[in-house]
Amino acid sequence: MNVEFLKDVLSIPSISGNESMLRDYIVEFAIENEIDYVLDKKGNVYLTKGKDKVTLGEYYPCVVSHIDTVHRSHIDLINDKRRLDIVENVKGDLIAYNPLTNEQTGIGGDDKCGVFVCLSLFLHMDILKGAFFVEEEIGMLGSREACGEFFKNVGYAIQFDAPSANWITEVCSGVKIFDDEFKDNVKTVLSEGGYTKFSNDPFTDVNQLAQKFNFNCLNLGCGYYDQHRDTEYVVIDEVKKALHMGINLLHHLGINDYERKDIPKEDYNFGDDYGYDWKESDFDIDFLSNGNPYDQEKSSKIVDAVIEMYNDGYDKDDIKLFITEFLSLEDDE
């Protein structure tokens, strides 16, 4: 793994609503590596590699990350087109300093670690799509407007947006993002790579993709910790572990279509119409109501409530309790 490449990505300041420096970096990466790219009106970036190698009946794997962070104090760096100073602490982990204040600040591993993993996978794979969404941290606003045309020939999606390197999102804001058959397919590969903990989490972009499209999704940890804080840090070996897992999963799953078997096609809209990550998840929700893993109205209620609670200063335990009680009350009706 190219650690200097990782440091380069982490040094780019990017905040919700002002992701221009990181978006430009991704576009330059695509041009330098002869990868097709498209920007949509929302500012999301879509990469495609291997157009001449995909034939009828084959599908692209797609990797996903978001390009915004919560660190509003970085706005002066963005305005001045300056970067963060990335250094290794005494443990060998990566942390960031703001060169304007010489104080430690959030490194933005959430989700620039994911951006790095996704871009690195384009250097390893011959056939791949990538979606880099804006404004995830303020309500998944970028992925809410995900381009249906881009995803129409995607067979599955893997997002890298969770702490540690042993984290697998199974339910995201009440939406199950993969079916049991897909889980059985990937479980051994995940376990062999050290990913064993399945989790139920508030939300990230695959919440939206799982509702809009009919393919299975994953979301994996990629080595950041203390997200959303000035003390945020990145463990290099765990980013490397996430990258290796991405490579192994892409080779295992190939260029095939992994259509959801648990949701009727008519439940998808195929339209163009926050990422708050828990340290642990101690509740288990396999299905939402009466055995139905998909309930868009319920998911929307949870997402809107979690965003409002987070903005009002509620801590993670209060929010987790709300989600658990909300689902219990809904299922009793």
Could you write out the three-class secondary structure of 186-206?
A: HHHHHHHCCCCCEEEECCCHH
Q: What is the pLDDT of residue 281?
A: 33
- Whole-number Å distance between alpha carbons of 169 and 157: 13
Q: What is the pLDDT of residue 203?
A: 81
Q: What is the pLDDT of residue 56?
A: 87
Where do the H-state alpha helices sit in 69-134? 75-80, 109-124
- Whole-number Å distance between alpha carbons of 265 and 134: 28
- Whole-number Å distance between alpha carbons of 303 and 207: 10
DSSP states of 252-273 as a string?
A: HHTT---B-SSS-GGG------
CA 177 to chain centre: 12
Q: What is the pLDDT of residue 264?
A: 63
Of the candidates 232, 267, 208, the residue with the CA atom closest to the CA atom of residue 93 = 232
Q: Where do the structural domains in the chain lie, given as residue ranges? A: 3-281
Query: Which CATH code is given to the segment(s) 3-281?
Result: 3.40.630.10
Of the candidates 167, 276, 268, 151, the residue with the CA atom closest to the CA atom of residue 212 = 268
Q: What is the pLDDT of residue 329?
A: 62
Q: What is the pLDDT of residue 143?
A: 97
How do the pLDDT tens digits run along the chain, 333 residues long?
A: 999 999 999 999 999 999 999 999 999 999 999 999 999 999 999 999 999 999 988 999 999 999 999 999 999 999 999 999 999 999 999 999 999 999 999 999 999 999 999 999 999 999 999 999 999 999 999 999 999 999 999 999 999 999 999 999 999 888 999 999 999 999 999 999 999 999 988 789 999 999 999 999 999 999 999 999 999 999 999 999 999 999 999 999 999 999 998 876 555 444 433 333 333 333 233 333 333 444 556 666 776 777 667 666 666 666 666 776 676 665 555
